[in-house]
Amino acid sequence: MPVPVATREAPARSLLRDEVLEQLIEAITDGTLAPGERLRDQDLSAWLRVSRTPIREALGHLAKAGLVSLSPNRFTKVADVDPEVLAESCRALVVVVGGTVLVDPLAWSRARKHIPAATRLVTPRDTLHHFWELTASVVAGAASAALEDVVEQVRLVVARDLQFGSEWIDVKEYRGVAEAAFGPAPPDPGDAVRKYREMNAVLQRGCLLRLQTQSAS
């Protein structure tokens, strides 16, 4: 998908870098800028109505986060979806969230108050929203800015890749795992971690199915 056309005024100078970064993250994670798409400074500058300096700063940050691939004097592009990178990032996410639950067994029960009921999950969008709300609620309960920063770094790649495969998510399977995870009786911490890992795995399979479909076509 081509870089969008500008539809707004340029942001205030003091907000340039952060706002450019947020705009690019949103465009990459929601698929507006698709995996493998070339990113040219002049196109992004025209779209966001800013100079190339904040564009380059933002692209450098996204390269470190794994959302952009840079090859000096050759190309800059949205990073391709890599199953191995996704699997590694998801393992890291499960370790962080799972560790939080094991250290604070009440984190899972508290999170339940802030997420949609599993029975209401009917679309891929619902499942992604449920998963990220659960993740954020558990981590927020730890009241650790450092922990939240770690999750945010991993979340960028995971969110983009899961959104990429969202149409292939098995909503019924995810809903079944979520219902078991939040049944009448609170699960023990170990079982809660296993359910979180299972929910994550269902979402990962959606991404892998889309990749397989693309490679076969």
At 14 the pLDDT is: 47
Q: Residue 71 and residue 88: Cα distance in Å, rounded?
A: 23
Domain contains 5: no
Q: 114: Cβ–Cβ under 8 A, 6 or more apart, which residues? A: 133, 137
Low-confidence residues of the chain: pLDDT under 50: 14
The total domain count for the chain is 2
The pTM assigned to this predicted structure is: 0.86
In a domain, 1, yes or no: no
pLDDT of residue 33: 95
Considering the domain architecture, whether residues 112 and 174 belong to the same structural domain is answered as yes
List the domain range (segments joined by +) for residue 39. 13-78
* Predicted pLDDT at 150: 86
- Summarize pLDDT for 47-98 with one digit per residue, the tens: 999 999 999 999 999 999 999 999 887 889 999 999 999 999 999 999 999 9
Please give the pLDDT value at position 145.
87
Give the CB-side neighbour count of residue 201, counting CA atoms within 13 A. Answer: 8
User: Does residue 190 share a domain with residue 91?
Assistant: yes
Same domain assignment for residues 92 and 169 = yes
